[in-house]
Chain A
Amino acid sequence: PEETVTSSFASFIHGVQPKQLSKAVCHRSKRMILDSIGVGLVGSRTHVFNIALQYCRELYSSAAVSSVYGKPGVKLSPTLAAFTNGVATHSMDFDDTWHPATHPSGAVLPALLAASQMLPPSTKPNGLDFLLAFNVGLEVQGRLMHFSSEAHNIPKRFHPPSVVGTMGSAAATAKLLSLSTAQCTHALGIAASFAGAPMANAATQAKPLHMGNATRLGFEAALLAARGMEANPSILDSIPGCSGFSAFYSAYEPKPLAVPSDHHEFLLEKQDIAFKRFPAHLGMHWVVDAALSVRNLFINYAGSFSSSLIRTVVLKVPVSKYINRPSPSSEHEARHSFQFNACTALLDGEVNLSSFTENSIHRQELRELLDKVVVEHPEDNVANFDKMYGEVALLLHSGDVLTGKCDTFYGHWRNPLSRESLLKKFRSNASYVLSDEKIEAIIATVDNLENLSDSSQL
């Protein structure tokens, strides 16, 4: 049978071995796992998480074996646990981002955690199997995004985690469950029918559902495939007159994955992840760093920060409608507002979890500063996480102009978080729901993941 793109993916998922994971890939993916768990833990304190959990608990759960972030003692059926944890992970927009753009870990980790608890003791996957499955989930997402040039820029139509995330989850769980090549093919095919949510729900409370569903439905696709469900075996290929996975893109050019030889090069090796320092859309991180740098200049100039000296704040950012909000009224909108994040950074000298509380969002001094903001879209500022920049200029009443610019924020893949910074973020997040002991235990477990004998301990 001739090699189709779809069958090459299935062969990869089925055939790739732990020894093919390079050191760099192991290292980077473990950082992602730690960050994702931390973000999921702190996310378990959000309103949207509570609704998702309440909804899932009301659904009859005949096999309640899988745990939920931040709720010791609560168990749900595996796919619902994956859903709830996926929602937690993305609830504050605090999770990792890749290039081309998606949030890869939240779509894969919850499903794997839930699945590992589902398997009987005799067949529990070890830490290395787990790490491999996780990387399969990432790799599939990355490869799919390379099939369309649309994917390189900040999205406009479908929210990428809902498109490639679902596929990644299906691939990762298919790997963990050791499905046959044919079953892997069908898992991908079924997952495509569960993929795809429009961008318009970004910046609303519904956006975290995208992640929850990506990880849950991809998992479901693998479970269905394991029970013999079949789909179109060429789902990833170009089928003229009848769209498969290509339905989610206007230009789509798939390519087969190389058969795993001794040296499969994982995309994560070539392209690292960005971790967020505060819970808001990735684009905000550039303007915040730019705002912080101009704030320093201001303090040198005037002794302390005072908005009354400012006439206008000019933001130079790329064009992207869903993150351009002059006056956000909810936490979800605030996390997707260049203006809000710049002003918060100017006023407070930092942006953190509490910047997005109701009180912080509606405070008077912030609203006053927001009124002074003007947004510009320079032509050279491309809506692309690899190329964009953020510039904040303060036009003072005195006539002076102070400018700060950021090309690469701290946490971006070009300037990755140090181990200390990453651990600091994890400890801070996890401390909302876990004891210090447990926090350190998780750090140690993830650090040593390859040597863990039973990954369901995680």
Chain B
Amino acid sequence: MSQLKLSSWVSSDQPFHNPNHLFIQRHSKLFQSDISHPSKLSNFRTINCSLRDIRQRIASVTNTQKITEAMKLVAAAKVRRAQEAVVNSRPFSESLIDVLYSINQQALLEDVDTPLTNVRPVKKVALVVITGERGLCGGFNKFVLRKAEARIAELKSLGLDYTVISVGKKGNSYFVKRPSVSVDRFIEGEGFPTAKDSQVIADEVFSLFVSEEVDKVELLYTKFVSLIKSNPVIHTLLPLSAKGEIHDENGNSVDASEDEFFRLTSKEGKLAVERDKSVGTSDGFLPNMEFEQDPAQILDALMPLYMNNQILKALQESLASELAARMNAMSNATDNAIDLKKSLSTVYNRERQSKITNDILEIVAGAEALLYS
């Protein structure tokens, strides 16, 4: 009975391109609802016809919006903590840079030969890929992994062998699904990176390099440029040059004494980012500073510290980039949810009003019919 009513409705009112029969079969559940009168088909093709269903959808979108907004606030708070962690690691970096600089000056550019500065002809390269632990962060992990694939292809075309050390659950699951890429080790971290976490990676890299299994180690992480922008970059970690300089793949040196730090401030209530360049304050060593051991041994002890420091900074920057990406993704999701809710509400109200109108019409028509009978 309701079927007949619907077809008469549809043919008189709207041009409806789908075959009515199929439409009703597919949505039979909707028509069996307790709404006695089939509602007018809406103009939005994607939105279904039942009042109750629209109401449920609005409720679920509202829930989703609350969740994404909460995730955005959490990510924003964590970015600030990540920035504090970077600031806490500054005393160490600054002292280390100071010491390296002074020692090299005093050692008067002696040709020091420590295992970690050993420059060999490169046959095999180790690539440390740093990704995130969780998803819902926009394109963050995808960019890093894409860059990793590009680098691997580049190495292959140069005829070099490679191995990958994957840090982070997202990278791990990606590489597990690709048995063609040889992965040396999977490492997972949790929360904010500590010296212990970077020690694990440093040990792995150290033993690979010193045992001559690989000849070059590169670090692939995401550099934090601003709250809305971050770049995946590749840094050569080993071999270290005696000045503690690290060269990126184009051979440009990224000098340690001009390190960049990022800082979050709130300008007029909006989060802004400042980068300041710290000039290595070398108040220098005292003139009669003696070395307990010979410079080679001292540098031997310093290089692992420097390597550890670099790895930790890479981990911290990656984490900050991931949190910023998540903040943006969740903010977009919240905005989308608000828009969707608005359009759903409009449709709902139209449906509701048309239902009331139909009820009234029916009642009036019935009354009129009685009157004239």
Are A and B a genuine interacting pair, yes or no?
A: no
